[in-house]
C-alpha cells in the first residue's frame, strides 16, 4: 500500500509526497536524512492530509495532480478532511 501525504510547514507552506511508510518518511523529513530538499528551508509541523493508494503508479499520478493545484485548492482539499486517519506525529517527533 502506498500513501499520498501533505505536510504543513512552519513557514505556512505545504509539501506533498508519497511513501509506503509514513512514520519512516516523517522522521526522514524531520532529521534531513534522506528527506526532501524542501525541508532545508523550513521545518515540518504535522501531517495534515493522508490518503491510501493501491500502488506506486496511482500514488505518483495523484501526487502530480495535487502538486499542480493552486495553494488555495490544496488548502481546500486539506479542509475537506483526510480520507485516511492521520498518524499521531507531532513536531516533538522531529529531532531537527
Say whether 68 sits in a helix, a strand or coil.
coil
Contact call for residues 57 and 65 (beta carbons, < 8 A) = no
Residue with cell 532529521: 31
Which pTM value belongs to this model? 0.87
Q: Domain range spanning residue 42?
A: 2-93
For the residues 58-69, what does the mean pLDDT come to?
97
Closest CA to 39 of 48, 47, 31, 49: 31
Residues in CB range of 18: below 8 A, 6 or more apart: 2, 3, 4, 5, 53, 56, 59, 60, 62, 63
Domain of 50: which CATH number? 3.40.1440.10
What tens digit of pLDDT does each residue of 15-37 get? 999 999 999 999 888 887 777 88
Amino acid at each position: 500500500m502506498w500513501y499520498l501525504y501533505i505536510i504543513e510547514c512552519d513557514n505556512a507552506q505545504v509539501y506533498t509526497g508519497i511513501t509506503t511508510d509514513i512514520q519512516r518518511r516523517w522522521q526522514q523529513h524531520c532529521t534531513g536524512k534522506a528527506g526532501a530538499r524542501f525541508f532545508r528551508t523550513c521545518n515540518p509541523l504535522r501531517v495534515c492530509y493522508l490518503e491510501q493508494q493501491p500502488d506506486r503508479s496511482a500514488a505518483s499520478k495523484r501526487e502530480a495532480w495535487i502538486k499542480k493545484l493552486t495553494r488555495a485548492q490544496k488548502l481546500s482539499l486539506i479542509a475537506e478532511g483526510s480520507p485516511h486517519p492521520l498518524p499521531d506525529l507531532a513536531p516533538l517527533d522531529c529531532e531537527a
